[in-house]
Structure 1
Amino acid sequence: MLALTLGAMTWLAIAYPEAERVGILRIPTTRGDRLFLSLILAAVIHLAWIALVGAETLATLPVGEGIEVSSLWLATAISLVSAVAIFRTV
């Protein structure tokens, strides 16, 4: 997933040359800065989720012997929403 993200960021840098942008932090940031912030925040969200909620099974899908769905998928969804917010506002 990280390789896909870096590939997309490279393509964006080539197709749409970036310019520094000033967002809510009031400092100039580039796409790379915003990616770094979103990855750090995703790590913090997942670690906090594991500490507070745990990674227990949320559901078992009726496929084959049953595929277990971890509650970490909710932390991943929160991380994706926060990454979009960072890319839009920072």
Structure 2
Amino acid sequence: MEWMSWTIPTAAFFGAIALILVAMTTWELRSPSVVRKGFLPIATTRGDRLFIGLLGSAYLHLLVIGVTGWSIWIAFALSVVWLLAVMRWG
């Protein structure tokens, strides 16, 4: 049986997601979010926007890597821009 190789980038990715979840939980406890409507077609809270942003970033990253010949870092940058846009204006 083969096990997953935990490389530094893999550990950093999952560590960053864990830190984001801890930060969002702390923020929610200190200042409960208000439902609002942005450019997304539904009313969302901060947690909703985080989930939609992370999911959209993953699909965008895979799309850019699969369809274009661009660098993985360009795909990463586009994914981060999407996540920040959803969190701010979604």
Q: TM-score, with normalisation over the residues of structure 2?
A: 0.72
Equivalent in the alignment of 1:20: 35
2:33 maps to 1:11: no
How far did residue 4 of structure 1 move? 1.0
Equivalent in the alignment of 2:76: 76
How far did residue 27 of structure 1 move? 2.6
CA contact 2:33–2:45 (8 Å) conserved in 1: yes
Identity among equivalent positions (%) equals 44
Structure 1 ranges of 4+ moved more than 2 A: 24-27
> 1:40-90 CA distances to partner (integer Å, 9 max, x unpaired)?
1111111112212357xxxxxxxxxxxxxxx21211111111111111211
Structure 2 SS opposite 1:46: helix
Higher helix share: 2
Equivalent in the alignment of 1:44: 59
Q: Give 5+ residue unaligned stretches, structure 1.
A: 56-70
Equivalent in the alignment of 1:61: none
- Partner amino acid, structure 2, of 1:40: L
Equivalent in the alignment of 1:87: 87
Higher Cα radius of gyration: 1
Higher strand share: 1
After superposition, the CA RMSD in angstroms is 1.7
How many correspondences in the alignment?
Answer: 75
Equivalent residue for 1:32, pick from 47, 54, 69 = 47
Q: Distance in 2 between matches of 1:26 and 1:48?
A: 22
Q: TM-score, with normalisation over the residues of structure 1?
A: 0.72
